[in-house]
Structure 1
């Protein structure tokens, strides 16, 4: 995110961001259920929940690298880093608030993303064992906290969440805005901070080492499989699914199909068995562990592939280096697409945007330039970090 002489950018991380970008785009464009049925589409089964989690985990890795990577900065240097990250977070959140005013049915992640950056700041100076303990504890306990808070929020606040994406006007409803951002919204920061903390732990490792890359792949895959297996046991032989089918919304909707895609619109209160599901965006321990595991594995694969051939994943890494610009452009394009009559076939919509993203990414890569929004965020962050004086630091992302 900042420039300097010494350390080259890790293109594997950019490739992972590129996968996250295209995965999120696909879930915004293609139907999540097979038309006319309650069967999940392959897009939903492959990308829902995993793409956005990958985006957040890689963000945490980026924060770790901005603050020294495997040799963490301390004291005054870390304070400078935090200033720069805070300014970057405010710019990202502001872009999210602007995009929130665009007419779209997409849940825009950027405002929550910026808030997550700010929430991660106190953790950036921790030693790796302590940080890992915080990450594990947060992953296990934040869903319980959210489960306990949600009924109180819904019974106390009116409305308990925002009607749509956050916009500037919502600061006039601070209670609803806070509830939406931290607990009741599509990307609840209370649970999603787990992804950033896990990403910071990963970013404190020597990501250029083959052993670390292999550990990410094998460990991430094992965690993802274990989370699904444990959830399957609790919902199956342990009786969790039968209990959920007896809840009001479990009896009213096709719960078994929805558990594979999303249960966000269901009332997930009144039964502790809701914490046993691993449904995308459910924010349970099993959902967080599964999606964080897949994110770690994908990151490890991208790093492994690019360790000797840095340009091999260029169609992913080039757009992945300017995701803020391309994601924002995607939201604007989808706002126009969603208003067209008759409805446009999703396949050409996706491939047109994907090819444009790859072309723009490669163009900016060839001319050694940042995306416009990345340039603004990076410049402001660097100015804040250096107190208005020129400074340089390595860019290892």
Structure 2
């Protein structure tokens, strides 16, 4: 699931990482993985009448997965020219490589879709996002920012208008489950779910990859850019959340939305704080004023993108400050971040093995999480220290290299 940095001029040994990587980017990706795992293991709401949000729900819900998607865009930028986007045959080769890597990720996601697990698996959506941004890989930072600004403003409104039509179709263009290989036989339903009616609506989520591409086109190794990302990202995140609170509480938005719900006792206040996925956001334009996680609104996209940019800035700064010869305190976290496809897959398999049955004697929910987290950090650190790729990363990298292959021209 990770995107590689610049390629080395020498040929690496089989299974080895090629080229240099920004340790802060991989470490941020490791944090995103651990955050997503937290929302899968720990409850995001207390089991009471009001569904009181838990600490995990308030901190990680929506933000961890958005960080993951923004970092996908950063990785794509780093692998397609960094500050100077590729062009001509090199750009087309890079697009072929990204497309083949996306097919590998999508195939893994479709295979995992059959697991009995109460987790919305992101891999198929992730793969489709890679394919959707192929036309934009040759853009520079200025054009990417303009495009991202337009996308974050327009796509939520388009989704709001189209979603009711898709849901009232016969049959509704919504899966209600993780994408499976069998769903390829009903492409209209599958595409409707992936782009608009599912848990990670690709139409709006393209915003994250565009912002990530723009971030990746900046001079990330400079001293000022991480500070800029931290300052601007924090400001955008705070302002988006503040504006949503004003519209919801002071301008009457929440009361108007509560009146549209069929069940007046529905804990809308809690859902607006933690998760609107699965809520039928139709019947009132006030839904567009929400910044709730997984609402896919302009303010949600701005808030979560701002948080992601700030986190990237923090980890780039930490990477500059703490990395010394012979000492790499980020090694376990960046190792986990360089193997997210393998570790995410393993995590889903573990959770599927525990789903629907009581925990073994002596096990706790905390133990289930920290056992996986520590294992991932230890294994990630070992693989990073040895410059090894993860098994699924090796397959995705091979597909990328195959797509990028350009036969030597005969002179």
Normalising by the smaller structure, the TM-score range is: over 0.9
Corresponding residue of 2:15: none
Shift of 1:219: 0.4
Q: Distance in 2 between matches of 1:117 and 1:123?
A: 10
Q: How many residues align?
A: 389
Distance (Å, rounded) in 1 between the aligned partners of 2:257 and 2:211: 30
TM-score w.r.t. the length of structure 1 is 0.95
The separation in 1 between residues aligned to 2:170 and 2:219, in whole angstroms, is 46
Higher relative contact order (CA 8 A, sep 6+): 1
Please give the TM-score of this superposition, normalised by the length of structure 2: 0.92
Match of 2:266 in 1: 253
Aligned to 1:20: 32
Does the alignment pair 1:274 with 2:301?
no
Conserved 8 A contact 2:84-2:140? no
1:2-21 to structure 2, matched below 5 A, reads: 3-5=7-9, 8-21=20-33
1:341 aligns with 2:358: yes
Partner of 1:155: 168
Give, in angstroms, the shift of residue 342 of structure 1: 4.8
Consecutive unaligned residues in structure 2, runs of 5 or more: 11-18
CA shift in 2, pair 1:47/1:91, >3 Å: same
Q: What does residue range 301-340 of structure 1 map to in structure 2 within 5 Å?
A: 301-310=314-323, 311-340=328-357
Pick from 194, 199, 211 the counterpart of residue 186 of structure 1: 199
Q: How does 1:115-130 map to 2 (within 5 A)?
A: 115-130=128-143
Report the Cα distance in structure 2 between the residues aligned to 1:207 and 1:29, rounded to whole angstroms.
33
Contact 2:199 2:294 in 1 (8 A): yes
Give me the CA root mean square deviation: 1.5
Q: Mean Cα displacement is larger for which, 308-317 or 50-59? A: 308-317
Deviation at 1:249, TM superposition (A): 4.0
CA distance in 2, matches of 1:155, 1:198: 33
- Give 1:5 shift: 4.1
Q: Are 1:93 and 1:115, in contact at CA under 8 Å, matched by a contact in 2?
A: yes
Partners of 1:49 and 1:384 lie apart in 2 by 33
Paired with 1:320 and 1:284, the residues of 2 have a C-alpha distance of: 28
Aligned to 1:156, the other structure's residue is in SS state coil
- Structure 2 CA distance for partners of 1:266 and 1:260, relative to 1, 3 Å: same
In the alignment, the residues of structure 2 paired with residue 320 and residue 342 of structure 1 have an alpha-carbon distance, to the nearest angstrom, of 28
> Partners of 2:244 and 2:321 in 1: how far apart?
38
- 1:370-385 matches, within 5 Å, as 370-385=389-404
Contact 1:21 1:327 in 2 (8 A): yes
Of 52, 68, 71 in structure 2, the residue corresponding to residue 39 of structure 1 is 52
- Determine helix, strand or coil for the equivalent of 2:315: helix
SS where residue 57 of structure 2 aligns? helix
Deviates more, 1:160-169 or 1:291-300: 160-169
The reply on whether 1:361 has 2:376 as its aligned counterpart is no
- The answer as to whether partners of 1:305 and 1:312 remain within 8 angstroms in 2 is no
Contact 2:140 / 2:214 at 8 angstroms: preserved in 1? Answer: no
